Structure 1
């Protein structure tokens, strides 16, 4: 039989049958909902009888009429929503009239409408108020069937995300059997409140019983003892390559990062200089190699140096003191901020393939490679060579 036919056979209203289906029980003055929440319509108060969950300490119409914060819909807002909806206004028109986002109005109808009679402002306000108390019981704690299913899947070594997605497939019509993977992680990590046994954490691929903290790029700890001057503080004349004498630098490393060669590219002429690092590429070795190489340049070509945040530049302060060259650091994971240098490093791999030992190359070898690169005509230079552009700078200055 359909619900309508069953309700007629029992002599009850169809709405009553619908409420029975979802577990709502009528009382003399209100209703009791699944989970223990009760509504007394004579006092317009929503309370809860679930142990450990705080009820709503509001009483009377004045309490329901109170506006907690401007970001929450008030009772007057909900009355206006009902009136505008009754006049045929669209969701966007209602949102514009209230000065709210259309998604706010859409969620209001979805969450607080009644199954049969539709949207009623006082009922919607009570329904919203019933969700307000904190803290709330965790879903995994109050639904044993969901908790048992999650534990069984964890023992099969499914990840929380796999469990979350398979719940939708295995229980397509049961909205109670829904949980996000983050809720599962919290249930494992927050012992005493989470709802899942601690030993189940060993079933995770990481095997960790607590969350590992993650930081984003904006929360990076200071890279060096001496403060860095970031590329955002670099003067505009360096950025547009209008003034020569500003360099970009980096290292290319050999097999297992055991050997390295320092690379320097002048931004306006693309002139290349290679730094010999015969023993290692520690911060002190790189600093000494850069000082020796940059000191061969005339003063007007020692403007600045832009580098990434590699540990080899930990001694950047002493390099600046020795050469009077300001070092600017790129943002994390932003190689395009040193585009000329990155492009040159790609060209250098023709001479120094990846995975080879770079310590076998002496200063003469590096000088020979640099001369070949500086003798190549470049499209960006109007088919001049970097050597020609640098020669012009030296002869005209």
Structure 2
């Protein structure tokens, strides 16, 4: 290395001091220790430490000096805005250029530029109506925000964590909890989170933001994410005569009039037990059928007749089912109750969307692979009451019980 230590150590020469810094960092990059690099260059060990780590004045009379690092020029495009990009944004903003013009010049999306100005700009002299974008301050702010991992919002706020844990214990979904947070704390943004934040606090290992066992309170009971897969096709099992869903009244399709129900069975272990489910399309109100003796067509028909007769006539207008063999006695059911039955097309579960969704919710209480015959009618009624007491997004966060009560009162 061609480097000559100056003889007069007391005389400060800025250009020469810069050369010593460059030599010091060059030796550090070659693998020398800081002490050895300081000895070769001829500087004090404390000086090398200040160059590497920065320093503050003891009395606080001078500005803190940042650490010195060799700037590596950018090689090619980056997914993040660089400091020279931010300088270009500030210059063009002063010239009155628009966001889309600046984005085209930098080869970025207009949303990237507008988000950069909004997130890293600042009010001028504390006046929110006068927004200013300072490129170097914006770059420092972005660099401070970038390091990962960051502490989660739920972990930083014990009150928020307790609120979420209490609702999970009541079998609320993360989306229901997040909406309840906004209703309960409308003026406290620190208490607002997205439902994805709750899922990450439950699923991602190492966060420790929520109790691990609370993942079992989710309706799926899963402790990790599961990718979506295409549903397997089903073969039709029911013979004619059937009245297809295409002939169902229009008032049932648009959910404008209450009294149109969707039904299905959830099957227990080895297909030996089952529970019948009924969902009202307008209110999403749930009723469960007790089938202690099996799920033959006669057993299902008798349970349906018994349940339907407990409802007011204006709340039972039609029933929609899939083409399962348990509805082979649908004709006698219609004769006994006067309620027409409509059948879905083969392999079309979305035509009974409310019922399919409800069956998924019920699996939280009746897991797959378990014996469903052990549940007595009182337990089925309690499960239905709990489900009907949970707020639903599709009902503007009212509960099915509240919506049905309004209908009965009217």
Q: TM-score, normalised by structure 1?
A: 0.44
